[in-house]
């Protein structure tokens, strides 16, 4: 086992491999930062380039890309409320308020180190789990997935501080939109009005770009000035402070990484949910939940740790069974096949060294990308001082083109604009966006897994109560949901008073 | 501004919008057969109830007070304030939103290569009231960046718009 | 107005520029030198109606450089993913493109037929495409069960079917496994219930291993890695002559029609391409699928690569269309 780790590591340390790792990292950083582009596009771009290469170089390139993308996405999320990739949307929630307070440097610094730590923890978890990956994948079937999805929805909806009703409302809204499109469960298309574009439903990335980036740009146009408010009061804090912050909140890093690793391993649920769930649960576990949405540094650390942890674990179903958990993984799968590595049960047996080399590449890229991010903190943070009259049109342009480029469909731009308007209203009228996003991602899974479970059990609802993992999931969700009530009771017993509701999410 | 149930009309915008959306969605859902509409309709009914509750709680009526008292004792429940939360003039907000849709329409009609510089220039010059020189140079810089990144590096076809479409 | 010092700006843009340059350099467009003379004069688009990373994507990308090598003039064949509508968007785009030989695409047959049924012929009519050839011989299906399954033969499956419907896991009515299951179960006398909703073939094969369903139908190439690792047991192959030793084939089961259930990867051009251009493309494709580099790649990837005989494409599409017509109503009933 250890010798495999070592050979994987050593195979990475050749000049050519390192060069490709660096190239992948640079591309990943850039593509991660631009909304609409991301790991999927970066990999899709580079895959044909790897055609003649040996597998190790190709994997070093892929690992480089996948490890660096989240860091790129984090930077625009914090500075411009523009999630570079979908999971980074959770980072916007507290990262952007920090930038508005002139603490962009702090946020980026903390996020970068959370990135690195989360990635390392995720890697260790993956390496530990890989030998039993197959067994784990086989434990989770449609009934388990259904309960997971429901739990995710419940947890996120109930942790909207003081706004549970509106949280449920926006969550329901997300669910209704999730059902738009063709469903291979029933074989018909719903709510599409015969439109080709809507066959595939409401795409996540264009709606997120609208909901977070465009909405905030509208907000800035109305407010005027610059992101970081009054230029005189701004201090671009340096990175060491950010680094220290992360180490002060190691519990949050740990929690985020664990959530990221677990959720990332579930195909189809993946990244965005991991980061939002990590955020929600950190809010819930915090002693000061109402400070979230206003610039609590833990609100940056939690999702970023989760995002990088998930990168490693997303490989598990992909490598173990060739089941890609996301579009990015699907492209990565294509890369593997192109190089004669058929993912599946054989892969873990025949190409072990390559796998470990990939995982090392992923980790190395993640850590190095964090360093580069930290090095660029000062110049990057200056963006928050730009006049919005210049900043807004430029960001809107790039965001819209990015939205289009997700799959080269111009209708994405319309979706983005609509969600920009809706997102703006959600900011102004204080409706939480978080449950909406999670519901949009998980929505169609709810129906699908339920339907499959019913077919498996011939309509018997007891299937959710007969399987071991299902019972564990029900128990843990109930525990997590009632946790705040339990803690409130304990607090009352100890005599501390509850703070007033509020906050923005 | 006119008030309905003691609250400025504009404050109802999103709440009312969501309610309306749910009604339309429900009507559409009942056009499908039972199995296909089960989940969407189920969610929509719940959403209708929550949305109605949300709207009521926004108002300044006795009903709202009663309901608030009912759900308040439950820890963590919503207490939506009956206070206007939009401190900016409606017109300013509407204009900002309209600019986004103008850009989107430009993109669809004229394609990326033309829409981006036109929008950046127009927004800076007419909306932001900045100088011609600055507006032109930023517009040029932006489209150059977009072109380099998307067309050259990614070799994506930059959408050429309905007016200039190839087929 | 702003405190953006020149130095900071230079540093940031320098870094961005470096990254851009790296990406641009890493993905530099190939030289594009068209020679004067007939067709082709410029780059050819190769539409892949799915997102990057799928089987069709790989095939198209591997075959494209080979096609380039066998065209009379040196131009690029550029694969383009046009995903959406389950493939419908890309296929429609191909259908509507100008029939000048500068747009070709790869199609899943009979998948495209199903799509046309499902989408009401909204954008394309499969029968009207200009067919250029196949990428490799059509893939047959096979029936498999998880390694832990109590079923060991088709007879077992048939016996089970008499007690209760046999559950097959598959994607959905738009997929080829769905129709394969309906057709084959009718031919084999099995009462079938389909558990739909899985996202990909790997997904529903793993589902069978896990026990969500009793059995699964998939192409042989998809099943092979699972079989070789011992997680799946193939009960029957629908080939006319089984390539897997010890497993009954369509002939042995007395149902030769089973071998007509195939997944073809066919290359087509928009309707109305002039014959001279069509012939150049047909020839280039035929040479490309026999190109030594392509064959070497297939060997490395463990893919069974058997190009169809030249000139067979029209016959193939005709057979597939007839087969689809025959079974159309039975499939849409379910």
pLDDT tens digits for A289-329?
Answer: 788 888 889 999 999 999 989 888 888 888 877 777 777 88
Query: Which residue range forms the structural domain that includes residue A170?
Result: 2-494
Question: Is the distance from CB of A458 to CB of C214 less than 8 angstroms?
Answer: no
CA distance A465 to chain B (A): 21
DSSP B62-111: HHHHHHHHHHTTSTT-----SS----S-HHHHHHHHHHHHHHHHHHHHH-
Q: Is residue B67 part of a domain?
A: yes
Q: What is the dihedral of CA B128, B130, B134, B138, to 10 degrees?
A: 0
Residue with token string 């150049």: C280
Q: Rounded to whole angstroms, how far apart are CA atoms B162 and A341?
A: 43
CA distance B110 to chain C (A): 20
CA distance C22 to chain A (A): 6
Contact flag B116-A176 (C-beta cutoff 8 Å): no
What pLDDT score does B50 carry? 92
Residue with token string 């058929």: A342
Same domain as B94, residue B148: yes
Q: Rounded to whole angstroms, how far apart are CA atoms A70 and A343?
A: 24
What pLDDT score does C214 carry? 93
Of A164, A176, A424, the CB nearest to B47: A176
Residue with token string 């109606």: C49
> How would you label C155-181 residue by residue, b for 16+ Cβ within 10 Å and e otherwise?
ebbbebbeeeebbbbbbbbbbbbbbbb
Query: Which residue range forms the structural domain that includes residue B98?
Result: 90-153
Residue with token string 């074989």: A187
Number of domains making up chain A: 1
HEC assignment per residue over A163-201: CHHHHHHHHHHHHHHHCCEEECCCCEEECCCCCHHHHCC
CATH 3.40.190.150 placement within chain C: 44-138+263-333
pLDDT in tens, C116-144: 888 777 788 888 999 999 988 888 899 99
- Tell me the pLDDT band of C61, cut-offs 50, 70 and 90: confident
Q: Rounded to whole angstroms, how far apart are CA atoms C267 and C315?
A: 14
C-alpha pair distances (Å), A221 with each of A110, A316, A381, B67, B89: 29, 44, 20, 37, 12
A231 to chain C, any CB pair closer than 8 A? The answer is yes
CA distance B162 to chain A (A): 10
Q: Is residue A503 part of a domain?
A: no
Of A175, A393, A450, the CB nearest to B124: A393
Query: Tell me, what's the ipTM?
Result: 0.89
Of A51, A196, A330, the CB nearest to C89: A196
DSSP A349-410: HH-HHHHHHHHHHHHHHHHHHHHHHHHTHHHHHGGGGSBHHHHHHHHHHHHHHHHHHTTT-T
What pLDDT score does C130 carry? 92
C44-138+263-333 homologous superfamily: Bordetella uptake gene, domain 1 (3.40.190.150)
pLDDT in tens, A417-439: 999 999 999 988 888 888 898 88
Contact flag C57-A184 (C-beta cutoff 8 Å): no
**CA-based torsion, C235, C237, C243, C247: positive or negative:** positive
pTM (global) more than 0.90: no
Mean pLDDT, range A359-388, rounded to an integer: 82
Q: Is residue A504 part of a domain?
A: no
What pLDDT score does A91 carry? 92
Q: Is residue A371 part of a domain?
A: yes
Q: Is residue A37 part of a domain?
A: yes
- Tell me the pLDDT band of A175, cut-offs 50, 70 and 90: very high
Number of domains making up chain B: 2
Residues of C in contact with B154 (CB under 8 A): 27
Question: Is the distance from CB of A313 to CB of A307 less than 8 angstroms?
Answer: no
HEC assignment per residue over A401-441: HHHHHCCCCCHHHHHHHHHHHHHHHHHHCCCCCHHHHHHHH
A475 to chain B, any CB pair closer than 8 A? The answer is no
Q: Is residue B19 part of a domain?
A: yes
The closest of A82, A120, A119 to A380, measured between CA atoms, is A82
DSSP A92-154: HHHHHHHHHTT-HHHHHHHHHHHHHHHHHHHHHHHHHHGGGHHHHHHH--HHHHHHHHHHHHH
Residue of A nearest to C212 (CA): A456
Same domain as B107, residue B65: no
Task: Reduce the DSSP state of residue C158 to 3 states and report it.
Answer: helix
Q: Rounded to whole angstroms, how far apart are CA atoms A154 and A150?
A: 6
Q: Rounded to whole angstroms, how far apart are CA atoms A409 and B159?
A: 8
* Domain endpoint, select from B11, B40, B71: B71
CATH 3.40.190.10 placement within chain C: 139-260
Tokens of C153: 């033969």
DSSP C124-141: --GGGSEEEEESSPPEEE
Q: Rounded to whole angstroms, how far apart are CA atoms A299 and A91?
A: 7
pLDDT in tens, A138-148: 888 899 989 88
Residue of C nearest to A227 (CA): C2
CATH 3.90.550.10 fits C139-260, yes or no: no
Contact flag B155-C23 (C-beta cutoff 8 Å): no
| Eight-state DSSP code of residue A326 | S
Task: Reduce the DSSP state of residue C45 to 3 states and report it.
Answer: strand
Of B152, B157, B167, the CB nearest to C24: B152
Hey, of B10, B36, B54, which one would you mutate to test binding to chain A, going by the most A CBs within 10 A of its CB? Answer: B36
What pLDDT score does C14 carry? 55
Q: What number of other Cβ atoms are within 10 A of residue C34's Cβ?
A: 13
Question: Is the distance from CB of C291 to CB of C66 less than 8 angstroms?
Answer: yes
Residues of B with CB under 8 A from a CB of C: 148-149, 152-155, 157, 167
Q: Is residue A52 part of a domain?
A: yes
Which region among A73-77, A292-296, B69-73 has the lowest average model confidence (pLDDT)?
Answer: B69-73
Query: β-pairing, B3-4 with B7-8?
Result: antiparallel
H helix or E strand, kind and range, residue A208: helix A204-208
Peptide bond into B32 cis (omega under 30): no
Q: Rounded to whole angstroms, how far apart are CA atoms C44 and C30?
A: 13
What pLDDT score does C36 carry? 41
* % of chain A with per-residue pLDDT over 70: 94
pLDDT in tens, A144-164: 989 888 888 888 777 766 678
- Tell me the pLDDT band of A229, cut-offs 50, 70 and 90: low
In this model, does residue C26 exceed pLDDT 80?
Answer: no
Same domain as B112, residue B61: no
Q: Is residue A458 part of a domain?
A: yes
Tokens of A395: 């960001």
A394 to chain B, any CB pair closer than 8 A? The answer is yes
CA–chain centroid gap for A477, Å, is 21
CA distance C225 to chain B (A): 34
**Diameter of chain B by CA atoms?**
63
Q: Rounded to whole angstroms, how far apart are CA atoms C111 and B12?
A: 48
Q: Rounded to whole angstroms, how far apart are CA atoms A287 and A293?
A: 15
């Amino acid at each position: 086992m250890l010798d495999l780790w070592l050979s994987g590591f050593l195979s990475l340390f050749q000049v050519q491999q390192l060069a490709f790792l660096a190239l992948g990292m640079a591309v990943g950083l850039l593509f991660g930062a631009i909304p609409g582009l991301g790991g999927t596009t970066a990999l899709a771009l580079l895959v044909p380039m790897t055609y003649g290469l040996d597998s190790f170089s190709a994997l070093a390139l892929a690992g480089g890309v996948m490890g660096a993308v989240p860091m790129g996405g984090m930077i625009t999320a914090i500075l411009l409320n523009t999630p570079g990739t979908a999971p980074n949307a959770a980072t916007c929630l507290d990262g952007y308020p920090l930038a508005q307070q002139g603490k962009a440097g702090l946020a980026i610094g903390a996020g970068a180190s959370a990135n690195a730590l989360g990635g390392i923890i995720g890697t260790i978890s993956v390496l530990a789990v890989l030998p039993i990956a197959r067994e784990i994948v086989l434990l989770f079937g449609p009934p388990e997935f259904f309960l997971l999805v429901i739990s995710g929805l419940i947890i996120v909806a109930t942790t909207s501080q003081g706004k549970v009703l509106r949280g449920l409302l926006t969550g329901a809204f997300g669910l209704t939109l999730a059902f738009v499109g063709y469903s291979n469960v029933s074989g018909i298309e719903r709510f599409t009005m015969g439109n080709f574009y809507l066959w595939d439903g409401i795409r996540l990335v264009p709606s997120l770009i609208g909901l977070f980036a465009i909405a905030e740009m509208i907000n800035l146009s109305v407010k005027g000035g610059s992101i970081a408010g009054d230029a005189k009061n701004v201090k671009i804090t340096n990175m060491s402070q950010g680094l220290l912050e992360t180490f002060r909140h190691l519990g949050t890093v740990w929690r985020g990484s664990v959530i990221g690793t677990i959720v990332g391993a579930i195909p189809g649920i993946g990244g965005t949910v991991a980061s939002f769930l990590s955020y929600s649960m950190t809010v819930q576990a915090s002693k000061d939940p109402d400070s979230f949405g206003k610039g609590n540094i833990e609100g940056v650390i939690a999702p970023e740790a989760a995002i990088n942890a998930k990168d490693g674990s997303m490989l598990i179903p992909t490598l173990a069974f060739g089941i890609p958990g996301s579009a990015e993984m699907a492209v990565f799968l294509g890369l593997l096949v192109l190089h004669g590595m058929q993912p599946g049960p054989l892969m873990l047996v025949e190409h072990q060294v390559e796998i470990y080399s990939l995982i090392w590449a992923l980790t190395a890229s993640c850590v190095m990308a964090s360093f580069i991010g930290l090095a660029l903190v000062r110049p990057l943070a200056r963006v928050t001082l730009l006049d919005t009259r210049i900043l807004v049109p430029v960001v809107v342009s790039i965001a819209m083109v990015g939205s289009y480029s997700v799959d080269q469909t111009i209708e994405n731009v319309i979706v983005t604009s609509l969600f920009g308007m809706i997102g703006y209203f959600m900011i102004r009228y204080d409706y939480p966006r978080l449950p909406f996003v999670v519901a949009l991602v998980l929505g169609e899974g709810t129906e699908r897994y339920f339907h499959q479970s019913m077919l498996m059990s011939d309509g018997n609802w007891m299937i959710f109560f007969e399987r071991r993992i299902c019972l564990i999931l029900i128990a843990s969700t109930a525990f997590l949901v009632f946790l705040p009530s339990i803690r409130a009771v304990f607090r009352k017993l100890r005599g501390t008073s509850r703070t007033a509701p509020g906050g923005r999410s | 501004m006119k008030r309905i149930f003691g609250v400025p009309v504009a404050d109802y915008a999103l709440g009312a919008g969501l309610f309306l959306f749910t009604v339309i969605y429900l009507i559409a859902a009942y056009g499908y057969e039972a199995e296909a509409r089960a989940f969407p309709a189920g969610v929509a009914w719940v959403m209708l109830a929550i949305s109605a509750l949300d709207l009521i709680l926004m108002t300044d009526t006795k009903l709202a007070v009663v309901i608030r008292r009912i759900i308040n004792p439950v820890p963590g429940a919503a207490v939506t304030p009956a206070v206007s939360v939009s401190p900016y003039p409606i017109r300013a907000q509407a204009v900002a939103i309209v600019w986004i849709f103008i850009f989107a329409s430009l993109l669809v009609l004229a394609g990326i290569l033309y829409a981006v510089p036109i929008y950046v220039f127009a927004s800076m010059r007419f909306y932001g009231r900045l100088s011609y020189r600055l507006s032109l140079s930023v517009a040029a810089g932006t489209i150059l960046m977009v072109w380099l990144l998307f067309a050259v590096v990614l070799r994506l076809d930059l959408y050429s718009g309905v007016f200039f479409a190839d087929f | 107005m702003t405190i953006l010092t020149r130095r900071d700006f230079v540093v940031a843009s320098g870094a961005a520029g470096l990254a851009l340059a790296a990406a641009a350099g890493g993905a530099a467009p190939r030289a594009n030198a068209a020679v004067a003379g007939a067709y082709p004069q410029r780059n050819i688009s190769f539409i892949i109606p799915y997102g990057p990373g799928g089987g069709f994507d790989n095939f198209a990308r591997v075959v494209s450089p080979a096609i380039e090598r066998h065209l009379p003039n040196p131009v690029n064949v550029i694969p383009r993913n046009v995903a959406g509508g389950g493939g419908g968007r890309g296929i429609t785009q191909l259908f509507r493109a100008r029939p000048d030989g500068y747009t070709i695409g790869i199609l899943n047959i009979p998948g495209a037929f199903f799509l046309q049924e499902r989408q009401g012929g909204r954008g394309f009519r499969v029968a009207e495409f200009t067919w250029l050839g196949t990428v490799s011989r059509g893939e047959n299906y096979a029936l498999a069960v998880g390694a832990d399954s109590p079923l060991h033969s088709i007879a077992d499956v048939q016996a089970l079917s008499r007690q209760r419907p046999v559950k097959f896991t598959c994607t959905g009515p738009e997929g080829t496994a769905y129709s394969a299951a309906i057709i084959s179960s009718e031919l084999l006398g099995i009462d079938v219930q389909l558990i739909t909703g899985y996202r990909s073939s790997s997904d529903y094969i793993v589902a069978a291993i896990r026990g969500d369903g009793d059995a699964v139908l998939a192409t042989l190439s998809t099943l092979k890695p699972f079989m070789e690792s011992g997680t799946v047991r193939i009960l029957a192959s629908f080939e006319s002559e089984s390539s897997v030793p010890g497993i009954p084939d369509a002939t042995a089961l007395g149902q030769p029609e089973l071998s007509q259930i195939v997944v073809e990867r066919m290359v087509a051009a928009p309707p109305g391409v002039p014959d001279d251009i069509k012939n150049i493309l047909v020839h280039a494709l035929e040479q490309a699928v026999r190109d030594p580099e392509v064959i070497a790649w297939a060997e490395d990837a463990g893919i069974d690569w058997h190009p169809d005989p030249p000139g067979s494409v029209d016959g193939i599409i005709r057979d597939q269309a007839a087969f689809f017509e025959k079974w159309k109503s039975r499939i849409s009933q379910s």
